[in-house]
Structure 1
Amino acid sequence: MTSPLLHVSAVETFYGNIQALKGVNLEVNRGEIVSLIGANGAGKSTLMMTICGSPQARAGAIVFEGHNITRMPMHEIARLRIAQSPEGRRIFPGMTVIENLQMGASLDNLKFFKQDVEKVFAMFPRLKERQAQRGGTLSGGEQQMLSIGRALMARPKLLLLDEPSLGLAPLVVKGIFEAIKKLNEEEGLTVFLVEQNAFGALKLSDRGYVMVNGRVTMSGSGKDLLANPEVRAAYLEGGHHL
């Protein structure tokens, strides 16, 4: 059996003396969309940031494509072609759309820059229309498209998406989820998605994990988790806790 692209094993992460992740185990196989759902403050974003190297895990191991990246600095992890669209988008507001995309491009792949920009514009035509506009003047949905587009410029083997639907109108969310699905189906891109929008995330995903208070408490196919009464009660019917 082939080994997973990303393997997280017994990971513990702390902020000072406060333990945010408590022995997290999960894996993402090549070509999958895997989602991590849970209430606000469950530790989802902390796991995403720990995979990227800031903060670093205090215990456990994170292995990507056979490389143990647990103690690697962020820039070395990025060089392995793990790209993140972080929570809150974090684009460069004073830079134009095209300049933001340049910031995401990998130095190793600059020869593909024009081709990669065209690919991002084909996926998000709105960005093409706005390419000379400063990032800070875009709508929330456009900024999210730009954040994902910037991550794609690194030609990632693994795309980490942290709350891509946060604060966006349902129609915009639908468009972004459709773009993620298309990337996965047409390019075979592997996606690890952290979402509070449990329904949208699980519907999109091959598999999912549920996180509660820094621990993974449940896992299964997207379909099975959508049908699970505990998941439905906690995340799909207005509740917040398992």
Structure 2
Amino acid sequence: MSTIAPLTTPTLEATSRPLLSIRGVETFYGKIQALKGVDLDVHEGEIVTLIGANGAGKSTLMMTICGNPRARAGQILYDGEDIAQLPTHSIMSRRIAQSPEGRRIFGRMTVLENLQMGTTLVGQEHFDSDLKRMFEMFPRLSERASQRAGTLSGGEQQMLAIARALMGRPRLLLLDEPSLGLAPIIVKQIFEVIRELNRTEGLTVFLVEQNAFHALRLAHRGYVMVNGRITMKGTGRELLAREEVRSAYLEGGHH
């Protein structure tokens, strides 16, 4: 199906209480309802992916977790605390980091300065050791450290967006469409870094993706969203095996 070697689905014994638990969440843009009673769980140490077509509401859910837009109904429980109505800066200070859709790096700043921005909420105490880790994970960023971020390639900018998020030492990493517009070789590299961080450090990841083929191979569990509702859930392997998922998201070049 794909020229890229498939990622091995990891195994996990989930903890009893989810780190992130979304219950009955409804979100609106004006009078238009974007999320319609969404229920979803991410346990500590898991990679969970949310797949769906463009416009299904995936990124809206990611942004609602971060408080912009706000959920009009329902609960967003993080480590047992309902964060649904907290200000965004307060939510992110709870060791939640986001690599947003479109990357949103600081184009006029250097790579190094962007990485420094990632430490805003945690301080500089571990900066040197964490920077070394980022450069080991993403050697291209080390080569480009003094270069303006806006001059990087799309793949390099995505690496920078993820590394900047990781500089905040998150307990929960939110990744919104990290493969969008990237060459397959870069997608493979980024997903392998995510898998390795989860395997070696137990990093909890909630991943929103249109690239169902790779996302479901990476994830312990997955959810399918259609028109603002969760329509299916299961392990990554289970969802990959379902004919509805294969025909909707894996045919016609969705690899």
TM-score band, normalised by shorter chain: over 0.9
Contact 1:83–1:152 (CA under 8 A) maintained in structure 2: yes
2:88 pairs with 52, 74, 79, which one?
74
Contact 1:45–1:162 (CA under 8 A) maintained in structure 2: yes
Q: Secondary structure, in 3 states, of the residue corresponding to 2:237?
A: helix
Contact 2:101–2:176 (CA under 8 A) maintained in structure 1: yes
Equivalent residue for 1:19?
A: 33
Cα distance in structure 2, aligned partners of 1:218 and 1:239: 22
TM-score, normalised via structure 2 length:
0.92
Contact 2:93–2:121 (CA under 8 A) maintained in structure 1: no
Following superposition, which runs of at least 4 residues in structure 1 exceed 4 angstroms of deviation?
A: none
Q: How many residues align?
A: 240
Cα distance in structure 1, aligned partners of 2:71 and 2:176: 18
Amino acid at match of 2:98: Q
Cα distance in structure 1, aligned partners of 2:252 and 2:228: 21
Q: How much does 1:67 deviate? A: 1.2
Cα distance in structure 2, aligned partners of 1:239 and 1:15: 31
Amino acid at match of 1:186: T
Cα distance in structure 1, aligned partners of 2:121 and 2:164: 13
Cα distance in structure 2, aligned partners of 1:239 and 1:160: 26
Q: CA RMSD in A?
A: 1.1
Cα distance in structure 1, aligned partners of 2:96 and 2:103: 17
1:179 pairs with 179, 193, 200, which one?
193
Q: Secondary structure, in 3 states, of the residue corresponding to 1:84?
A: strand
Equivalent residue for 2:180?
A: 166
1:154 pairs with 157, 162, 168, which one?
168
Equivalent residue for 1:215?
A: 229
Equivalent residue for 1:60?
A: 74
Equivalent residue for 1:127?
A: 141
1:187-202 to 2 correspondence within 5 Å? 187-202=201-216
Structure 1, unmatched stretches of 5+, are: none
Q: How much does 1:200 deviate? A: 0.4
Q: How much does 1:239 deviate? A: 8.7
Cα distance in structure 2, aligned partners of 1:2 and 1:204: 22
Equivalent residue for 2:61?
A: 47
Equivalent residue for 2:3?
A: none
Amino acid at match of 2:202: G
Cα distance in structure 2, aligned partners of 1:142 and 1:230: 34
Structure 2, unmatched stretches of 5+, are: 1-14
% identity of equivalent residues: 69
TM-score, normalised via structure 1 length:
0.97
Q: Secondary structure, in 3 states, of the residue corresponding to 2:124?
A: helix
Q: How much does 1:63 deviate? A: 0.3
Q: Secondary structure, in 3 states, of the residue corresponding to 1:127?
A: helix
Cα distance in structure 2, aligned partners of 1:106 and 1:27: 28
Q: How much does 1:106 deviate? A: 3.6
Equivalent residue for 1:87?
A: 101
